[in-house]
Amino acid sequence: MTETDVAPGAFAHVEGEARRTIEEVYRQAVEALDRLGRPYEIIVVDDGSFDGTWAALERLHADDPDLRAVRLKRNSGQHPAMHAGFVRARGDVVVTMDGDLQNSPADLPKLIAAVDAGADVASGRRTGRADSWGRTLPSRVINGMLRRFTKANISDFGCAFNAYSRDAIVPVLGAIGKQKFTKALVLSAGASVVEVDLEHRARQDRSRYSPLRLTRLALHVLAGFWPQPIQWAGVLIGTISCLLATAGLAWGIVVWVVRNNFPGPLFLGVLVVFVLGIQGFMLALVGEYLGRIQRDVEGRPLYRVDRELR
């Protein structure tokens, strides 16, 4: 029988946030998973909270020894905390969720059923999203960028409430936490995906995503998922500069021959533009080396095997 791991993250980015919700998250998750009639485990990752969350987890563990919890020494962020949950999960299906109750644990069976039906990833899609326009507008921009770069046609990359098959997680496990978009990372490796509509509730406190942080996330998408940003820029600069230099050189020769007048300033400009073109191609070469270093450091898989006959 398939075992299911559920790893709700208790992220204490705001004092008191996780302590107020973690016990209710646990209660609702147990109710939802008990209805499945199959073995499961719950893993809670306390992301360096300072508000009494760990004490609440100790009380829950005293009543239910099967509950597993891990506390990080400092606030490391959502995706490193997810990595801590993934490496401890033992089931064939792993579900991730935040501990702020914006998503309802009652939707757990819907996500698990989607993976059971054959999808590698059941991607949560927040319906009737209870966030301000200042949060949803940048999110749409980032979602559009990720759709383009990952080739995955889903509408909500930012929803943390998702289910993954173990086969989809293992190839990219070494890179999870080094990237800020775990779902996009898994999908970029070729995992199949279906979207599941989920209830979305208003936050009980202020969002931790400021405009500055959203801007940084957009830059992270460019750096992490656009395969060759520096190469493209370098090749573009180099190509345009060399074309302009060639055209300028041809025009200068025509002026020199027809008018019998050496156009010194024009040839000097051509030389400057040509040097700029060489620098553009050198930038592209540097970008290639940086891309190789990034792939090696993150440990992303070069490929993922679908099936094999032996």
The per-residue pLDDT for range 162-195, each reduced to its tens digit, is 999 999 999 888 888 777 789 998 998 889 999 9
Confidence (pLDDT) at 233: 80
Whether the per-residue pLDDT at 8 is higher than 70: the answer is no
Closest CA to 228 of 141, 143, 149: 149
Instruction: Evaluate if pTM is beyond 0.85.
Output: no
Domain positions in the chain are 4-225, 229-298
Confidence (pLDDT) at 16: 40
Whether the per-residue pLDDT at 29 is higher than 80: the answer is yes
The per-residue pLDDT for range 41-59, each reduced to its tens digit, is 999 988 888 778 888 888 9
Distance in angstroms (rounded) separating the CA atoms of residues 240 and 274: 10
Q: Name the region of 299 (left: φ>0; alpha: ψ -120 to 50; beta: rest).
A: left
Relative orientation angle of helices 53-63 and 17-34, to the nearest 10 degrees: 30
Average model confidence (pLDDT) across the chain: 80
pLDDT band at 134 (very low <50, low <70, confident <90, very high): low
The per-residue pLDDT for range 206-251, each reduced to its tens digit, is 556 566 666 666 666 766 666 667 777 888 888 999 999 999 999 8
Contacts of 135 (CB under 8 A, 6+ apart): 207, 209, 214
Whether the per-residue pLDDT at 259 is higher than 90: the answer is no
Q: 4-225: CATH homologous superfamily?
A: Spore Coat Polysaccharide Biosynthesis Protein SpsA; Chain A (3.90.550.10)
Distance in angstroms (rounded) separating the CA atoms of residues 40 and 164: 14
